């Protein structure tokens, strides 16, 4: 029986992406794999108590057990609220339509 699983840990910044492949013991948790990957050394701004985590785009908890070939994603906090951005864009669109003027 193979007691190792292969995983990937990814973290993306606006201008840089980090993808680390690791072989970890079966039964490793998401947090354990993140620590083992070395991504925290490369990106000390990551805070596992604050950053959301996912496996293949689905949110997960730090204590979730991993399966072979899982890709752990570390998400950055949102800079802007998407609802607020859409609302502002809609307001700007209304202003632009009103100010069309005569052609």
- Contact by Cβ (8 Å): 32, 24: yes
State the burial class of residue 58 (Cβ atoms within 10 Å of its Cβ: 0-12, 13-18, 19+): exposed
Pick from 11-15, 27-31, 51-55: least confident: 11-15
Beta bridge partners of 6: 23
Q: Look at residue 8 in the predicted model and tell me its pLDDT.
A: 98
At 96, is the pLDDT very low, low, confident or very high (cuts 50, 70, 90)?
A: low
The structure's pTM equals 0.75
pLDDT at 70 over 90: yes
């Amino acid at each position: 029986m193979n007691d190792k699983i292969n995983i990937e840990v990814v973290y993306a910044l606006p201008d840089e992406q980090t993808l680390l492949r690791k072989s970890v013991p079966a039964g490793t948790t998401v947090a354990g794999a993140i620590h083992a990957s070395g991504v925290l050394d490369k990106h000390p701004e990551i805070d596992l108590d604050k950053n959301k985590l996912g496996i293949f785009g689905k949110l997960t908890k730090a204590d979730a057990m991993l399966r072979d070939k899982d890709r752990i994603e570390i998400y950055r906090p949102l800079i802007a609220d998407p609802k607020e951005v859409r609302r502002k864009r809609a307001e700007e669109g209304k202003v632009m339509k009103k100010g069309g003027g005569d052609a």
